[in-house]
């Protein structure tokens, strides 16, 4: 899948259990609102690839929750992401764009990496290839499905609240 090949997250750990889901052919996203995922808001950090991964998520406002991500390794930014979870058609979608350390975009100008909602639970949101789980008030886990030509693996990001 094109969207997952562009996604370059750096792993904290590789999981063997299935944590990410996909929509079936022709299946629509379930009804959901930003209130269902408002628990994501906050400033989160975790170690990744010898550096520090950081995400800052806003509270819901104006039909979206925005976020920024950066990976800092060897005291230098490796890359950034900017994105949001947005309310669309009685559901939500996670969209993002990648940027290098000099803010040059990886995706084409009008392209985003999109993760449609598959399933929503009280403390877990399953987007296509991307799952976010509230472990406690001070910890969230994010699993990302990374695909290459020959394999696919889920990568875990274990974040703590700052």
pLDDT tens for the chain, 162 residues: list them: 444 433 444 334 444 457 888 888 988 999 999 999 999 999 999 987 678 999 999 999 999 999 999 999 999 999 999 999 999 999 999 999 999 999 999 999 999 999 999 999 999 999 999 999 999 999 999 998 888 888 888 878 899 999
Pick the CATH number of 2-161 from 2.40.128, 3.30.1450, 1.20.120, 2.10.260: 2.40.128
Q: How far apart are CA 152 and CA 102, in angstroms?
A: 30
Question: For every residue of 49-106, which 3-state class applies, written as one string?
Answer: CCEEEEEEECCCECCEEEEEEEEEECCEEEEEEEEEEEEECCEEEEEEEEEECCCCEC
For the chain, what are the domain ranges? 2-161
pTM (two decimals): 0.85
**Per-residue b/e over 137-147, b at no fewer than 16 CB within 10 Å?**
eeebbbbbbbe
């Amino acid at each position: 899948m094109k969207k997952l090949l562009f996604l370059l997250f750096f792993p904290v750990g590789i999981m063997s259990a299935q944590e990410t889901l996909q929509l079936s052919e022709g299946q629509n996203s379930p009804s959901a609102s930003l209130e269902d995922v408002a628990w994501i808001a906050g400033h989160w950090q975790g170690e990744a690839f010898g550096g520090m991964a950081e995400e800052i998520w806003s509270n819901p406002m104006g039909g979206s929750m925005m976020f920024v991500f950066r990976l800092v390794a060897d005291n230098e930014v490796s890359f950034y992401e900017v994105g949001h979870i947005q309310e669309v058609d009685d559901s939500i979608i996670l969209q993002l764009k990648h940027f290098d350390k000099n803010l040059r975009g990886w995706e084409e100008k009008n392209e985003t990496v999109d993760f449609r909602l598959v399933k929503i639970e009280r403390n877990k949101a399953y987007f296509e290839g991307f799952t976010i789980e509230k472990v406690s008030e001070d910890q969230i886990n994010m699993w990302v499905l990374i695909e290459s030509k020959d394999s696919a693996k889920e990568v875990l990001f274990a974040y703590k609240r700052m």
